[in-house]
Amino acid sequence: MDKTAELLPGTLDMLILKAVSLKPLHGYGVLQRIRQISKDAIEIPQGSLYPALYRLERRDLITAEWGQSENNRRAKYYTLTAAGRRRLREETAGWNRLASAIAAALKTTREEV
Amino acid sequence: MFKGLRSIFHALIRRRDFEDGMSEELRFHIEQYTGELVRSGMSREKAARQVRMELGSSMNIKADCRKAFGVHFFDEFRRQLSYAARLLRKTPAFTATALLTLAVCFGANLTIFAVIDSVLLRPLPFPQPDRLMTIFNSYPKAAVDRDGSSVTNYYERRGHIPAFASLSIYRYGSEIVGDAGATERDPTMRVSPEFFSTLGLGPVMGRTFTDEETTSQTDDVAILSNPFWRERYGADPDVIGRQIRVNSVPRTVIGVLPSSFRFLSSDAQLFLPLASSAEDRLPSRRHSGGNVIQMIARLKPTATLAQAQSEIDAQNAALEVDDPQAKMIADAGFRSLVVPLRADHVAAVRPTLLLLEAGVLVLLLIGAVNLVNLLLIRASGRVKEVAVRQALGAGWRYLVSEVVVETTSLTFAGGLLGLAVGAGGINLLRGLGADRLPLGSQIAFDARLALLGLGAAIVMGIVFALPVAWYQLRRNPGNALQSESRGGTSGHGAQVLRHSFIVSQIALALMLLTGAGLLGLSLQRVMAVSPGFQSDHVLTGQILLPWADYSETGRMKFVESLMEKIGDLPGVLSAGVVNNVPFSGNIGKSAATVAGHVRRLGESARGHYSYGVAGDYFRAMGFSLVAGRFLTGDDSRGSERVCIVDEDFARYYWPHGSAIGQRLWDGSEAGKDAEAFTIVGVVGGVKQAGLTQNEAQGAIYYPYMFRIGDSVFVAVRTGVPPESFALTLQKVVRQIDANVPVSDIRSMDTRIADSLVARRSPALLAGVFSGIALLLTCIGTYGVLSYAVTQRRREIGVRIALGAQSRQIRTQFLSLSLRLLTAGTVLGLIGAWQAGRTMRGLLFQVPPLDVGVLATAACVTAAVCLTACLVPAQRAAQISPMKALADE
């Protein structure tokens, strides 16, 4: 089996919000950060990253501002908004509930039925 | 959400920034990633290929981003807009017709609506304007429907009617303002102290009048209107306390009104206290209103109009108990009516304006029907194209929005043109006398109206799109490709729709034409009415004599010297003076008591037009003498109590005998024997109130010295065109007194013409509207018929090839148009009959169902429609079978 996990639908937005919540990032930075915090387990399809960022910006969950990159290039930095923080909290909680429920379901043994 | 919208908005206006940012961001990503791959040991080419593979095409990413950000709708809109523009450019005849139709229909509607808005809709510029009422005395059985209010009414009512928070009286006037040598005649209002508090809007500077300032000795104060303060005093902030001469008497300025202050249609520059004497306030003067003084009141927030009316009724009943004239007053049907101020002010013009609004809406409807028809015809040419696109995967949503964009951009452009037409139309209406309507001076083309027009244009575009979209998408593309292929006939449903539109257009145009015809005929009948005197070659002007400079004898002397000086001028045939000239707009009446006349049961004292005349007034105006003699200059100089009555008066009191030698008293009671006037002549009746005045009210002419008033009208019969005499008249008056201006100088013919403006302008407008309606119907009928011919070109070709005569083909199309015309005419006649009934009140000696007018209108409509059908029918008959079939 491949060591990178398939991205579940709807989880890309959540991961972007998480990545941006730690520190303002540019688009490429988001990609790196997700790779880093998932210990290279999750690979984002690069083509979907920017539409997702624009969608989140339009929904007012993140804001964008032009700034200087590490190597002194102009880059667009994304920051989490208050609404985005709230959304991230909700989605994290929802995800955790779902994940533990699925984990519990999968752990079920014959005796427990 | 709001921020999100704002960022879209920003992205839209700075579209290039948005695109550049997107490109830069992607470029940055590519460089970063490539750099990273190169650092990890990959060759530059391999890295670049790897990046392209993982990222995909940046064009696709950008499109996804635009969509995600929500700006793609606008791109789509732009695309559809340019597509629509291309389509419209491709059919210039259609586009021009549509735009012209829309421009004219919107323009006409905006113009009339501007008038309706100003006159009927916009609230008066006071707080809670709907609480403002007017109260007036009415004596319907004495033929005096409206007599204003008296000073007595005011003092009896104020503070005693619980439903009113405040109550006030006012009278319009005009005074000579300014120092000697620099005088000007300005419109003024005399008002009671509570006038401004009743309206809820008072001076911005200074104070209002006090109760102490309501007697003739203490009323030497004045409040200035804002424009007067700006023009005459240069907006001097220290104007309070300064002196201003009004009718040569100095008054102290005590206040300045705000610039927003405007009472109904008055353009009063000065407000003075309405002063009265103790006698004026006596109960015996209660019914002496004479329609000069008017009353307004403000309802308390909790009170209703009905409550106020019943309180006024109760008070009147209680007061009349002690009135020695109680019986006569009751016989006259006396009542004081409480009516909303605004509605009352515009009541006379409301029906005409509503009629015009209805007419202009019908015009809009005709235009709309016409356009939908033309759009449907146009759409039928595209059914196949749309079907192909549908088959290739175009969504119905996209196709519908494409139609909406096309029709809306058409109506929007038409709306913009309509704004220009409307602005011009409003100027034109001013020329037709719209600014003389009550509240008419506020008629303006403003931003509100423009927004309304454009909003309506957009709504109309969307409404137009519905039938067109339905027509294009109603069946599956496969069928459409077959049935509407060239050479086939059009679907039955669409044809019925087109034909019913033509029928309704004809019906509506016929209705409009009939309405215009009725108004025109009515105007013609009014103009045929004789005013009762020879109105040609008579110049009239009003002269206001200030009481401070002219006592009663002073006035007599002024009139005498005026007559003398004018009589000496070359070109003058005769000249006279009267205190109220016919068609002056003043229709106040007063009572007279005829010696020996015993009132029949239920008959009240009658109001008659009463005049004071001097000089050779009757000959100057060209009155006809029925019996006896005219009053002459000798009568006005002498002190003999003689008078002249008109034939209506004589017929009423002496239906069988002669009026000459009979005696009467001026007033509602018989006086002393020595005060009676002897009738020495009977003259023909004169229309005082206007040509349509039909009640025979009766008139009495006294020598001027017995009926001296504030102002006099001078009437001069000239041998030359009367207008050319105006300057001479002014010069003569100035020679007598340089401070007395002559105002309102108009020939009698002009006065009569001016009095007809309320009939002429609506008739003219209705005529213009129906002319446009006919033109639109003509275009519509022509369009549909020629489309039908084009559609059936092949069928006709085949039939001619098989031996059909071209006459038969022509007859076939003409009979189709005859059928449509007949249906339209029948519906139109029913509509015209209904329309005639609703406008009955506006017609003068014309029945609401005038056969002549109906027949003429039907013939004109028929002629126009048949002419429009003739060309396509002829073209059908001349189709060459070879060509028609070869075209396939």
Question: Which of B240-249, B719-728, B782-791 has the weakest average pLDDT?
Answer: B782-791
> The domain spanning residue A92 has which CATH number?
1.10.10.10
List A residues 78-107 in contact with B (Cβ-Cβ < 8 A).
none
Q: Which of B3, B8, B29 is most worth mutating to test chain A (most A CB atoms within 10 A of its CB)?
A: B29
Residue B333, token pair as written in the block: 């049907």
pLDDT the model gives residue B486 = 47
From CA B608, how far away is CA B597, in angstroms rounded?
15
Structure tokens at B721: 């065109």
The answer to whether B55 contacts A46, with C-beta atoms less than 8 Å apart, is yes
Residues B612 and B680 placed together within one structural domain of the fold? yes
- Per CB-CB distance under 8 Å, the chain B contacts of A55 are 68-69
pLDDT value, residue A79: 92
Tokens of B139: 């004596």
Give pairs for B495-502: CB < 8 Å, separation 24+: B495/B788, B497/B376, B497/B467, B498/B373, B498/B376, B498/B377, B498/B784, B498/B787, B499/B784, B499/B820, B501/B369, B501/B370, B501/B372, B501/B373, B501/B780, B501/B784, B502/B373, B502/B780, B502/B781, B502/B784, B502/B820, B502/B824
- Considering the domain architecture, whether residues B658 and B558 belong to the same structural domain is answered as yes
CA distances from B615 to B514, B619, B673, B778 (A): 49, 9, 27, 61
Element (H, E) at B339: strand B335-340
Identify the three-state secondary structure at position B401: helix
Chain A residues in contact with B7 by the CB 8 A cut-off are: 57-58, 60
Beta carbons of B271 and B188 less than 8 angstroms apart? yes
pLDDT at B156 over 90: yes
Q: Tens digit of pLDDT for each residue in B853-887?
A: 999 999 999 999 999 888 888 888 888 888 877 76
Instruction: Measure the CA–CA gap between B409 and B113, rounded to whole angstroms.
Output: 23
* Chain A touched by B23 (CB under 8 Å): no
Show the CA angle centred on residue B599, arms to residues B594 and B604, nearest 5°.
95
Q: What is the pLDDT of residue A5?
A: 60
Q: Counting Cβ atoms within 10 Å, is residue B112 exposed (0-12), middle (13-18) or buried (19+)? A: buried
- Work out the pLDDT band at B388, boundaries 50, 70, 90: confident
Q: How far apart are CA B353 and CA B340, in angstroms?
A: 19
Nearest CA in chain A to B31: A28
How many CB atoms are closer than 10 A to CB B154? Answer: 22
Q: What is the pTM of this model?
A: 0.78
| pLDDT for res B2 | 59
> Domain limits at B60?
2-70
Instruction: Read off the tokens for A63.
Output: 């804001």
Mean per-residue pLDDT, B22-37: 88
Please answer whether residues B359 and B512 qualify as being in contact, where contact means their C-beta atoms are separated by less than 8 angstroms: yes
A10-56: per-residue pLDDT in tens?
A: 788 888 999 999 889 998 889 889 888 888 888 788 888 898 998 89
User: Could you tell me which residues come within 8 angstroms of residue B429 by beta carbon, excluding any fewer than 6 positions away?
Assistant: B111, B115, B443, B761
Rg, Å, chain A Cα set: 17
Burial, B832: exposed, middle or buried (Cβ in 10 Å; 0-12, 13-18, 19+)?
A: buried
Q: Residue B216's pLDDT band (boundaries 50, 70, 90)?
A: confident
Q: Is B53 on the interface with A (CB under 8 A)?
A: no
Structure tokens at B606: 């009658």
- Say whether B61 and A50 touch across the interface (CB within 8 A): yes
Taking a C-beta distance cutoff of 8 angstroms, is the pair B625, B618 a contact? yes
Residues B244-272, buried b or exposed e (16+ Cβ, 10 A)? Answer: bbbbbeebebbbbbeeebbbbbeebbbbb
Say yes or no: B163 and B56 in one domain: no
Q: Are B802 and B885 in contact (CB under 8 A)?
A: no
Q: Inspect the interface and report whether the beta carbons of A73 and B64 lie closer than 8 Å.
A: no
Q: Is the pLDDT of residue B438 over 90?
A: no
**Burial category of B580 from C-beta neighbours within 10 Å (exposed 0-12, middle 13-18, buried 19 and up):** buried
Number of domains chain B is built from: 4
Domain of A78 in residue numbering reads as 11-112
Is residue B341, in this structure, part of any structural domain at all? Answer: no
User: Does the pLDDT at position B612 exceed 80?
Assistant: yes
Return the ∠ at Cα B147 (arms to B143 and B148), rounded to 5°: 160
Q: Is residue B80 part of a domain?
A: no
Are residues B565 and B267 in contact, defined by beta-carbon separation less than 8 angstroms? no
**Domain match, B637 and B668 both:** yes
Structure tokens at B127: 């707080």
| 3-class SS of residue B259 | coil
pLDDT at A2: 47
Which residues of chain B make contact with A50, given a CB cutoff of 8 A?
Answer: 22, 25-26, 29, 61, 64-65
Chain A residue with Cα closest to B30: A28
Give the start-end residues of each E strand in B147-238. 164-177, 184-191, 205-206, 221-224
Q: Do A51 and B67 touch (CB under 8 A)?
A: yes
Is residue B698 pLDDT above 70, yes or no? yes
Same domain, B880 and B840: yes
Alpha-carbon gap, residue B498 to B496, rounded angstroms? 5
| pLDDT score recorded for residue A90 | 92
Q: Using the beta-carbon criterion (under 8 Å), do B4 and A60 form an inter-chain contact?
A: yes
Q: Give, for B8, the enclosing helix (H) or strand (E).
A: helix B2-13
Q: Which tokens belong to B109?
A: 């509607």
Contact B61 A47 (CB under 8 A): yes
Any domain includes B128 = no
Alpha-carbon dihedral B804, B809, B810, B812, rounded to 10 degrees: 130
> Tens digit of pLDDT for each residue in B261-282?
999 988 899 999 999 988 889 8
What local confidence, expressed as pLDDT, does residue A4 receive? Answer: 57
Give the tokens for residue B76. 């789509």
Q: What is the average pLDDT score of chain B?
A: 88
Question: Mind listing the pLDDT tens digit for each residue in B126-147?
Answer: 999 999 999 999 988 877 788 8
Query: Which position has the token pair 């005074």?
Result: B175
Q: What is d(CA A15, CA A80) in angstroms, rounded to the nearest whole number?
A: 12
Q: What ipTM score was computed for the predicted complex, to two decimals?
A: 0.87
For residues B745 and B731, give the distance between their C-alpha atoms in angstroms, rounded to a whole number: 13
**Which of B299-308, B504-513, B633-642 is predicted least confidently?**
B633-642
Q: Which residues contact B763 (CB under 8 A, 6 or more apart)?
A: B516, B519, B520, B522, B523
CA dist., res. B715 & res. B704, Å (int) = 14
Q: What is the pLDDT of residue B203?
A: 94
Chain A hits for B66, CB-CB cut-off 8 Å, are 54
The pLDDT of residue B484: 47
Model confidence at A1, pLDDT cuts 50, 70, 90, reads very low
pLDDT score recorded for residue B487? 41
**B102 domain-assigned:** no
Give A 19-48 residues with CB within 8 A of chain B: 26-28, 31, 45-48
Phi and psi for B644 in degrees, rounded to 5? -125, 145
In chain A, the number of structural domains is 1
| C-beta atoms of A50 and B56 within 8 A | no
Joined together, the tokens standing for residue B644 give 């002249």
Q: Are A100 and A72 in contact (CB under 8 A)?
A: no
**Domain-ending residue, one of B45, B70, B95:** B70
Cβ atoms of B252 and B243 closer than 8 Å = yes
Chain B residue with minimum CA distance to A72: B28
> Does residue A5 belong to any structural domain of this protein?
no
- Among residues B24, B50, B293, B292, which one has the least CA distance to residue B157? B293
The nearest CA of chain B is from the CA of A108 a distance in Å of 39
Residues B25 and B153 in one domain: no
Identify whether residues B615 and B505 lie together within a single domain.
no
Stretch among B231-240, B549-558, B579-588, B714-723 having the lowest mean pLDDT: B579-588
Is A67 an interface residue toward B (CB < 8 Å)?
no
For residue A87, being part of any structural domain is answered with yes
Rounded mean pLDDT, B412-431: 92
**B121 part of a folded domain:** no
The CA–CA distances, whole Å, from B287 to B326, B330, B335 equal 11, 12, 11
**In a domain? residue B725:** no
What mean pLDDT is predicted for residues B837-858? Answer: 90
Q: Are residues B257 and B375 in the same domain?
A: no
What's B456's DSSP letter? H
Contacts of A59 in chain B (CB under 8 A): 4
For A61-80, the pLDDT digits (tens) are 999 888 888 888 888 999 99
- State the nearest Cα–Cα gap between A41 and chain B, in angstroms: 17
CB B335 within 8 A of CB B742: no
Place of tokens 């009063």: B268
Among A50, A73, A74, the residue with its CB nearest the CB of B26 is A50
> Which of A26, A51, A54 lies at the smallest CB-CB distance from B28?
A26
- Are residues B400 and B473 located together in one domain of the fold? yes
Q: How far is A103 from chain B (nearest CA, A)?
A: 32
* Same domain (yes/no): B420, B320: no
pLDDT of residue B167: 96
B688 is a domain residue: yes
pLDDT above 60: residue B28: yes
d(CA B812, CA B598): 77
The token pair that represents B396 in the structure block: 């119905």
Say which residue the tokens 């016929």 belong to.
B510
Show Cβ contacts of residue B284 under 8 Å, excluding neighbours closer than 6 positions. none
Both B176 and B257 in one domain: the answer is yes
The answer to whether residue B355 sits within a structural domain is yes
Interface contact flag, B8 A58, Cβ < 8 Å: yes
Distances (CA, A) of B837 to B87, B355, B525, B694: 46, 12, 18, 21
- Taking an 8 Å cut-off on Cβ atoms, the answer to whether A27 and B1 are in contact is no
- Examine the domain organization and report whether B374 and B301 are in the same domain: no
The predicted structure's pLDDT at residue B12: 67
Q: What is the largest CA-CA distance in chain A?
A: 62
Does A4 lie at the interface with B, CB-CB under 8 angstroms?
Answer: no
The partner residues of B134 in beta bridges, in order of sequence, read B296, B339
Residue A100 burial class via C-beta count within 10 angstroms: exposed 0-12, middle 13-18, buried 19 and up? exposed
Q: Do A58 and B60 touch (CB under 8 A)?
A: no
| Distance of residue A47 Cα from the nearest chain B Cα, in angstroms | 5
CA-to-CA distance for B118 and B120, rounded, in angstroms? 6
Mutate to test the interface with B, among A28, A32, A43, A70 (most CBs of B within 10 A): A28
For residues B165 and B674, the model is more confident at B165
C-beta of residue B362 within 8 angstroms of C-beta of residue B508 = yes
- Contact in structure between B613 and B636 (CB atoms under 8 Å): yes
CB contact under 8 A, B54 and A46: yes
